[in-house]
Amino acid sequence: MIDPTLLTRVVKGDQQAFSQLYDHSSTLLFTLAVRILGNHEEAAELLQDVYLEVWRKVSRYDVGRGTPIAWLITLTKSRAIDRLRARSSRGNQATNALEDGTAPPVADSGPSPLETQADEELRVAVKAAVAGLPLAQQQAIEFAYYEGLSYAEIAARLNQPMGTVKTRIKLGMSKLRDGLQQWGNHGGSNDA
Partner 1 sequence: MVAPMTHEELEESVPLYAAGALDRIERQALEAHLLSGCTSCHSALKNYQSIAALLPLSLNPILPPRSLKAAIIAGRNPAPIPAEAAPGEPARQSLEPGEWMDHLFPPVAPARSSSLPWVLGLGTLLIVAVGGYVAWNLSTQRSIATANIHQLEASLKEKAANLAEVQREVSNQASALTDLRNQLQQRTTEAADAKEQLLQREGELEEMRVELSQRGNTRTAEIPQDELATLLRIPNAKAVSLTGSDMAKQAAGFLLYDARTKKAWLYSINLPECPNGTIYQLWAISNKPISVGTFDMAPGETAHLLVKKVPRFLDAKTFAVSLEPSSGSPQPTGPMYLLSRS
Q: Which residues 2-21 are close enough to bind partner 1 by CB under 8 A?
A: 10-11, 13, 15, 18-19
Contacting partner 1 within 141-180 (CB under 8 A): 141, 143-145, 148-154, 165-166, 169-170, 172-174, 176-177, 180
Among 91, 100, 101, 108, binds partner 1 (CB under 8 A): 108
Examine residue 112 and tell whether it contacts partner 1 (CB under 8 A): yes
Contacting partner 1 within 42-81 (CB under 8 A): 43-49, 51-52, 55-62, 65-67, 69-75, 77-79, 81
Q: How far is the CB of 25 from partner 1 (least distance, A)?
A: 10
Among 5, 102, 106, 156, binds partner 1 (CB under 8 A): 106
What gap in Å lies between CA 191 and CA 42, rounded to an integer?
Answer: 20
Q: How far is the CB of 113 from partner 1 (least distance, A)?
A: 11
What gap in Å lies between CA 75 and CA 188, rounded to an integer?
Answer: 13
Examine residue 37 and tell whether it contacts partner 1 (CB under 8 A): no
What gap in Å lies between CA 180 and CA 65, rounded to an integer?
Answer: 19
CB atoms within 10 A of CB 190: 23
What gap in Å lies between CA 136 and CA 190, rounded to an integer?
Answer: 30
Q: With contact defined as beta carbons under 8 Å apart, do 34 and 43 qualify?
A: yes
Among 1, 4, 94, 104, binds partner 1 (CB under 8 A): 104
Of 35, 33, 188, 14, which Cα lies nearest the Cα of 116?
188
Q: How many residues bind partner 1 (CB under 8 A)?
A: 100
Distance of CA 67 to the CA centre of its chain: 14
